[in-house]
Amino acid sequence: MRSLLGGVTLAGLVAGLVMGFAIAPREATQGNVQRIMYLHVPSVWVAYLAFAVVLVASIVYLVRRAEAADRLAHASAEVGVLFTGLTIATGSIWGKPTWGTWWTWDARLTTVSILFVMYLGYLLLRGMIEDRERGARFAAVLGIVAAFNIPLVHFSVYWWRTLHQPPSLVKPGPGMPGIIVTALLVNFAAFTLLYAYFVTRRARVLRLEAEAEA
């Protein structure tokens, strides 16, 4: 089952890369640089998905005290932080040639960076507590606070300043060829599978660690 998921994920990633970097047409103004969108946008999607899973798993843990839910939250937060980092990295690489700067305090950059430090704090809290049960409880509380904070972060930063281009998939421009949309969707699917693969593997390692300790 696990290796099947891994195989499908790998195939999806390869297909997504080929579609995004070879088949999809070159963007007229930005040139090949724009192709990084096929990595950047799915990364941020996975990050938000991961943090949503952290919220749900945290609530389930507090209500049911199922250790599996705690491990899911932990694994998901780690993968979420990873993909938030990837989003920032690919965004910077994209921003340098198009905006002329690696970093700017634009609304969405700021939002993502706040999420990044918020969930880094979450992982830090987990690392600081030896007692497994207490760590799980505290992390669940923090996971809930952090998730409810996301809309607040979003609006505050949005009103603060914005410069980002509007999301291109929700409101496709008139000239956006179907192949670009298809390539992007394939990458979305592949990244989601990758997320599932990472989380299941990580949760398994966490379970084995817990068993080894017990």
Which residues in this chain contact another protein in the complex, by CB under 8 A? 62, 114, 117-118, 121, 124-125, 128-129, 131, 133-134, 137-138, 140-142, 144-146, 148-149, 152-153, 155-157, 159-160
| Helix, strand, coil percent content, the chain, rounded in steps of 5 | 80, 0, 15
For 64, residues 6+ apart whose C-beta sits below 8 A from its C-beta are none
Minimum distance from residue 79 beta carbon to another protein (Å): 19
**Which tokens belong to 129?**
């507590």
**Least distance (Å) from another protein to the CB of residue 122?**
8
Least distance (Å) between residue 110 CB and another protein: 8
**By C-beta, is 90 or 111 nearer to another protein?**
111
Task: For another protein, give the closer residue by CB, 157 or 194.
Answer: 157
User: Which of 125, 169 has the CB closer to another protein?
Assistant: 125
Close Cβ partners of 104 (under 8 Å, ≥ 6 residues apart): 95, 163
C-alpha to C-alpha distances, 137 to 51, 154, 156, nearest whole angstrom: 17, 26, 29
Nearest distance from residue 99's CB to another protein, in Å?
22
